[in-house]
Amino acid sequence: MSITHPKDVESPLARQTLLDRDRVRPVDQQQPVIRMLPRLRVVVLGGRSIVDRGRDVLLPIVEELRAAISGDPLLIATGAGIRARHALGVGLDLGLPTGALAEIAGREAEQNGHLVAALLAERGVAYLGHDSVAHQLPVHLAASNAAVTNGYPPYGVHELPAAAGKIPPHRTDTGALLLADAWGAASLTYVRDVDGVLDGGTVLRTATAADLLADPARPLPIDREALRTLQRARHVRSVQIVNGTVAGTVTKALAGEHVGTVVSA
């Protein structure tokens, strides 16, 4: 059986659509993608693992973030916690579609963002919704050098159907990665309540996204969809997972030190 290769029929109409093969060639092979905020540091606070644990865990991390504001620009993304799990449970019981569930979970991540922004308000830090963080982040950083948003991607009712079940596949970890990559951030740090990725009781110093995805049964402190997205990212080619419950860890990670598990594309 012979393999036939697609052939183009010369037509001026092709130039008016995205079917033109000159347009669909990978752009990164032609010219580099511009980093809009090359010094930006993005840090993700887990909803259940950090924010839900209250003042004993969250306040020390906030103090470290407060001190870090004087450095390179900082964007703090918050995740959804246990309240989102309860809301999703009710939504699933009612038969709501994936898009509606994504809207519900995103609202809880937004609430956590307002909490963190309030704790940093005296430094001029404000919470930015999806529209503001996507289009006005530079001007807000020029005013206070830090901002807070929620990590859920703004898909909302346009969320892709899940491969299994109806839980939204793109959540905080993926949304924060998409945002960091879009702005061309210098680093992306996931703050959790574990030291990193465990391998038989030992914390991995380094790992690749492909290796972690190879074992579907491996417990991971970040979403698998984020690892798949990391493999396609243009600017963020590695992320670090650190334990925010250990004093000084967040400060070291934001300074570029290797204190957790570094996962590369």
Q: 227: closest CA among 205, 212, 243?
A: 212
Structure token digits, residue 206: 């380094």
Q: 40: closest CA among 173, 114, 102, 133?
A: 133
Token look-up 């209250």 returns 54
Q: At what angle do helices 82-94 and 98-119 cross, to 10 degrees?
A: 160
Instruction: Name which of 8-17, 98-107, 180-189 the model is least confident about.
Output: 8-17
Contact 190, 239 (CB under 8 A): yes
- The dihedral sign for the CA sequence 163, 167, 168, 172: negative
Q: Report percent pLDDT > 90 for the chain.
A: 74
Query: How far is Cα 102 from Cα 48, in angstroms, rounded to an integer?
Result: 17
Query: How far is Cα 255 from Cα 41, in angstroms, rounded to an integer?
Result: 10
Instruction: Name which of 20-29, 32-41, 80-89, 236-245 the model is least confident about.
Output: 20-29
Structure token digits, residue 181: 């990559």
Distances (CA, A) of 50 to 53, 71, 76, 177: 6, 23, 13, 18
Indicate whether 70 pLDDT > 70.
yes
Contact 152, 175 (CB under 8 A): yes
Question: Beta strands 198-199 and 202-203: pairing type?
Answer: antiparallel
Contacts of 43 (CB under 8 A, 6+ apart): 65, 74, 75, 76, 77, 188, 189, 191, 250, 253, 254
Instruction: Name which of 11-15, 210-214, 251-255, 259-263 the model is least confident about.
Output: 11-15
Indicate whether 153 pLDDT > 60.
yes
Indicate whether 187 pLDDT > 80.
yes
* Partners of 146 in the β-ladder: 74
Q: Please state the pTM of the whole predicted model.
A: 0.89
Phi-psi sector, 142: left (phi>0), alpha (psi -120 to 50), beta: alpha
Q: CB-side exposure of 239: number of CA atoms within 13 Å?
A: 32
